[in-house]
Chain A
């Protein structure tokens, strides 16, 4: 009986990990890849760890698996946010067909402060998109 549950859980977990890997290759944009990493892979690894805890049926292994699941669930969003923020400052381009950019012009280049609206210091705002203004800013930087 427990082996049937293990087979179901381990198959689902492997499928989620495989979907995360395919999305890693196929997604057109760094930010979309970050979203794939933080959702699908976390769920897949959690299912694999739960199946291993069911297989051993042991207090020490179950507690270890639960600790790893808790840690991955806690740290995946934090690391995804940090790397997304760093890549936004680094000037990683958005996808051509992405509809909107809520952070457009609201981050400051020098101080890295997030403002709630676009102020009148266009040289200090982080703007990277596919309009003409963004390209002019890049030319000034170079």
Chain B
């Protein structure tokens, strides 16, 4: 069993299963804060999947995408929480 087989048949399915679990919380989440946390965790898991995928395909260019995703995750979480807090302050 080579490294590529191990990553393709063990690691990537487990990561995909965890994405499915987080999607369950993203659709179900009782409050909107749960959905925002689930979105943040989805993007963070996506960074890990991109890193693993770049190992499988041997292309390090995918890491640029991971860097941009990390930036966007932080910005979106900050913007969402800022507007939620502001909406409640007005009321």
Contact = CB atoms under 8 A, between A and B. Distances in A.
B7 A10 contact: yes
Q: Which of B3, B18, B36 has the most CB of A within 10 A?
A: B18
Interface residues of A, number: 51
Contacts of A76: 44
Contacts, number: 159
A68 B22 contact: no
B18 A20 contact: yes
Interface in A48-103: 48-49, 51-52, 55-56, 58, 60-61, 64-65, 67-68, 71-72, 75-76, 78-79, 82-83, 85-87, 89-90, 92
B51 A51 contact: yes
Contacts of B74: 71, 75, 78-79
Contact of A61 (B18, B60, B89): B60
A85 B34 CA distance: 13
21 contacts: A10-B52, A10-B55, A18-B15, A18-B17, A21-B45, A24-B22, A24-B25, A48-B51, A49-B66, A51-B55, A60-B60, A64-B64, A65-B63, A67-B67, A68-B63, A68-B67, A76-B44, A79-B40, A79-B81, A82-B82, A90-B33
